Each structure stands twice: as C-alpha cells, then as structure tokens.
Amino acid sequence: MRRSVLALAAFVLAASALTPLSAQRSERDRGIVELEPVGARGGFYIGGGIGAGRESYKFSDQTAFTDGLTKPTISIRLGGTPTPSARLGGEIFAWANDVDDGTESFAVFMLTGQFYPMQQGGIFLKAGGGFARSGIDFNNGSSTYETGFAWNVGGGADIPLSRAVGIGPMVDLYQASFTKRNEPTLTERVLNVGVQVTFQTGGRGR
C-alpha cells in the first residue's frame, strides 16, 4: 500500500514539474511566430542597374521602327516603401552610343511604382511616366536635343542577399514622343534587359 502511495505521489510531482515547462515552451513558440517578418520590404530604398538596351525609332509618317541598335544602359532608382507590396519613387534611365564627334543618348526621368503580387516574394511589376531627352552631345561642348513625354512598363525580381541588400534581373520598355512644329512626330524606344542591386533601410525582419 505504501509503495502505491509513493508511486502516485511521484507521478503527481512529475506531472506538476512538466506542466510549467510545457507552458513555457508554448509561450516561447508563440513569441517566435510573433517575431516573424511581416514583409520583405520596408523603409527608404535606392538601387542601381546596368544592362543592354535595344534602341529604335520611327517618325509619324513611317509605319515601322528602325532596326534596333543595342548599347549599354544605366539606371538609378530611389524612393519609399509605403507597404510591403508596393514601392513608389523616381528613376533616371540612360542609353548612349558613340558617334562621330560626340555621343548620342536617350535619357528618361520619371516617377515610378513597383507592385509585388506576393508580399513575401521578390517578383514585381513596374510602370512609370515622366519626360525624356534625346539628342547628340558633341565633343566641342555643343549639343542638339529634343524633349518629350515618356512612359515605361517592366518587371523583374528582387532576391534578398541580406536584410538591407537585394539583387535581381529586370526587363523594361521605355518609350517617348518628341514633337516639333511642322515636322513629323518622332517616337523613340529602348527595350532594356539588365540587373540591379537595391539597398533598403527597413524590412526583411526588422
């Protein structure tokens, strides 16, 4: 009888000792879930990209664009992240080609928005609008150029390397129209494929 009582008492003591441990483990696990990152993006961001852009153009009295000319491109993007699914900011994009006695270029300055369909994913869609400059800058310091309205559509991916740094591919179409009085309207476009690196101040677990 005494052995049965002692065994029962030992069982009760063991159960009472295990219960707080189980509760502590439950509390700890719940805390881990609460600390998981809400989104991969946040705060201020700035990014730089390089690529290869295929430029072509046509006038309004023509039916087809010229054969494409592929040259290096560079872009800079910066702005803010109001939600983990969207980024809003500005962008500068430039395409350039060396010619006799100078450099011809196509540059775009615009406001852009990036939308991430999956909050935890890095794939994004992009669109923007602004103005463009197209012309030739000569080696003697003179230049000839036109300005006009520009728009952009594109997409890409932002693959996180750390909380603050991401890298990924991008594909963009930039197009602009330039109008002069009593002359056909010039439409110029660049299809760009490249890679960009992005730095941010928040997100990814912060």
Do 69 and 4 lie in one domain? The reply is no
Same domain for 98 and 2: no
Residues 16 and 115 in one domain: no
Q: Are 170 and 195 in contact (CB under 8 A)?
A: yes
Residue 57 and residue 15 in one domain: no
Cβ atoms of residues 111 and 127 within 8 Å: no
Q: For residues 6-29, give the mean pLDDT.
A: 47
Q: Are residues 9 and 71 in the same domain?
A: no
At 39, give phi and psi (nearest 5°): -150, 165
Q: Are residues 74 and 155 in the same domain?
A: yes
Q: Both 17 and 52 in a single domain?
A: no
DSSP letter, residue 100: T
pLDDT band with cut points at 50, 70 and 90 for residue 3: low
Domain of 32?
1-36
Taken in order 141, 145, 150, 154, is the CA torsion positive or negative?
Answer: negative
Q: What is the DSSP letter of 4?
A: H
pLDDT at residue 102 is higher than 60 = yes
* Vertex 187: Cα angle to 184 and 189 (nearest 5): 165
- Mapping DSSP to helix (H, G, I), strand (E, B) and coil, where does residue 198 land? strand
pLDDT on residue 38: 44
Say yes or no: 24 and 98 in one domain. no
Token couple for 104: 């011809």
The enclosing domain of 144 has a CATH number of: 2.40.160.20
Please check whether residue 90 is in contact with residue 77, taking contact to mean a CB–CB distance below 8 angstroms. Answer: yes
Between residues 19 and 52, the one the model is more confident about = 52
On whether both 131 and 55 belong to a single domain, the answer is: yes
Residues 82 and 129 in one domain: yes
Residues 6 and 46 in one domain: no
Query: Is the predicted pLDDT of residue 8 greater than 60, yes or no?
Result: no
| Whole-model pTM over 0.95 | no
Q: Are residues 14 and 112 in the same domain?
A: no
Q: What is the pLDDT of residues 135-188, one digit of tens each?
A: 999 999 899 999 999 999 999 999 999 889 999 999 999 999 999 877 899 999
Residue 4 has pLDDT above 90, yes or no: no
Q: What does the pLDDT look like over 43-99, one tens digit per residue?
A: 999 999 999 999 999 999 898 999 999 999 999 999 999 998 999 999 999 999 999
How many C-beta atoms lie closer than 10 Å to residue 174's C-beta?
Answer: 29
Domain count, the chain: 2
